[in-house]
Amino acid sequence: MTAPHGFSVSRYAPERGTIAKLTARDSMVRRLDWPILLSSLALSFIGSLLVWSATRGRTELNQGDPYYFLFRHALNTGIGLALMIGTVWLGHRTLRGAVPILYGISILLILAVLTPLGATINGAHAWIVIGGGFSLQPSEFVKITIILIMAMLLAAKVDAGDQVHPDHRTVAKALALAALPMAIVMLMPDLGSVMVMAVIVLGVLLASGSSNRWILGLIGAGVAGAVAVTALGLLDEYQINRFAAFANPELDPAGVGYNTNQARIAIGSGGLYGAGLFNGHQTSGQFVPEQQTDFIFSVAGEELGFLGGGLIILLIGVILWRACRIARETTELYGTVVAAGIIAWFAFQSFENIGMALGIMPVAGLPLPFVSYGGSSMFAVWVAIGLLQSIRVQRPITA
């Protein structure tokens, strides 16, 4: 049989087969959560423009190359995408068996920060300098391993059908394993990361169906711990000053309150539509320190205005909404708990980052997911997206 225009049917069949496989109802392409993927890519793209705007005139940072940070942010995003693809390919269930190994590696990495291998950046001794201008912040990956190790323990007997909810002994083990890396990170000190980890632990416990006594106890322990840390003087002076400036913004406007005050001026000057990309006076004048990382939202507020800042918040909201759907639709507690931990992480860290730029949260040195410059943060959030996608891809298909 001859097809139209003289081509044989056999020459058409492979192409139709490939397309059919990609568009089949059970194909990975169809089963991916595209709103999450597209929203994450959009945030990374917006972030690359904002990072470029914040650094193109900073010759003391960009080594005389205005495209230096733009290229590196794009490179970090590309590596992050590769990590996401690898995570989806391996699958969260396969990674479940490797969680103890990953946990051990993360402990070794954060312990390495406390050795001469560690470096201090922006007041936090939380980095390992690799060389060639690259550095690693292990605490970003600890957020993932805390989620995975707790989910593995809390869901083991429930997914096996032996229990309806995790028992007290299992919850105690999970909390102990989460407390160890948190205590080490606190010694750096990296208070911002510890705050995120505490919220992750709370979100994981809530999603696992653990007894409310553990939730209330955890909140009480957090309050007691904060009081003890303050009373024992475990916080560095710059951390205490940040909280003091948050409580009283006029306390030292030219000192510890400078960053927040300048960020609020930048955001307020943007109005509804913003001054336009690369046209922000606060940004081009370099009035806001760390504008490519912690205070990246001030660039968005000044140059893209309320609409641009609102778009960033909307895209983050889409990711959280779809992640909630993934957590609700999965049939295994392990997947639900992993998704819930990621939701708690992204929600709190985004709120804290944007909130400190607006002056409604204390400065804690946390990046805005996907948007702020930073390789470790970018890699970690894309691995988290890979976990969410894996949970969705591997869920049963309903009729």
User: What sign results for the dihedral spanned by CA atoms 346, 350, 353, 355?
Assistant: negative
Distance (Å, whole) CA 46 – CA 371: 7
Sheet holding 118-121, edge to edge: 118-121, 124-131, 134-136
Q: What percent of the chain has pLDDT over 90?
A: 50
**In the prediction, which pLDDT does 133 show?**
65
Q: In the predicted model, is pLDDT for residue 324 greater than 70?
A: yes
Residue that wins the pLDDT comparison between 187 and 133: 187
Residue that wins the pLDDT comparison between 25 and 71: 71
Q: In the predicted model, is pLDDT for residue 397 greater than 60?
A: no
**In the prediction, which pLDDT does 178 show?**
95
Highest mean pLDDT, choosing among 230-239, 240-249, 310-319? 310-319
Q: Indicate the SS3 state at residue 8.
A: strand
Q: In the predicted model, is pLDDT for residue 70 greater than 80?
A: yes
The tens digit of pLDDT for each residue in 299-308 reads: 999 999 999 9
Residue that wins the pLDDT comparison between 10 and 74: 74
On whether the CB atoms of residues 323 and 342 are closer than 8 A, the answer is yes
**Mean pLDDT over all residues of the chain?**
85
Distance (Å, whole) CA 67 – CA 253: 32
**In the prediction, which pLDDT does 333 show?**
93
**In the prediction, which pLDDT does 331 show?**
87
pTM attached to this predicted model = 0.88
Q: Indicate the SS3 state at residue 179.
A: helix
**In the prediction, which pLDDT does 4 show?**
47
**In the prediction, which pLDDT does 9 show?**
44
Work out the pLDDT band at 8, boundaries 50, 70, 90: very low
Highest mean pLDDT, choosing among 166-180, 282-296, 306-320? 306-320
**In the prediction, which pLDDT does 200 show?**
96
Q: Indicate the SS3 state at residue 90.
A: helix
128 — phi, psi (to 5°)?
A: -120, 120
H-only helix segments in 160-295: 168-186, 191-208, 212-231, 237-247, 258-270, 281-284
**In the prediction, which pLDDT does 65 show?**
84
**In the prediction, which pLDDT does 22 show?**
54
Label residue 346 exposed, middle or buried (CB < 10 Å: 0-12, 13-18, 19+).
buried
Weakest-pLDDT range from 64-68, 147-151, 304-308: 64-68
**In the prediction, which pLDDT does 115 show?**
85
Average pLDDT score over residue span 343-352: 97
**In the prediction, which pLDDT does 121 show?**
72
Average pLDDT score over residue span 49-71: 87
**In the prediction, which pLDDT does 233 show?**
63
Work out the pLDDT band at 252, boundaries 50, 70, 90: low
CB contact burial 269-293 (16+ within 10 A = b; e otherwise): bbeeebbebeebebbbeebbebbbb
On whether the CB atoms of residues 283 and 266 are closer than 8 A, the answer is yes
Work out the pLDDT band at 382, boundaries 50, 70, 90: very high
Work out the pLDDT band at 93, boundaries 50, 70, 90: confident
Work out the pLDDT band at 370, boundaries 50, 70, 90: very high
Label residue 11 exposed, middle or buried (CB < 10 Å: 0-12, 13-18, 19+).
exposed
The tens digit of pLDDT for each residue in 169-215 reads: 999 999 999 999 999 998 887 888 999 999 999 999 999 988 888 88
Distance (Å, whole) CA 338 – CA 347: 14
For residue 90 the two structure tokens come to 């391996």
The residues pairing with 135 across neighbouring beta strands, listed in sequence order, are 129
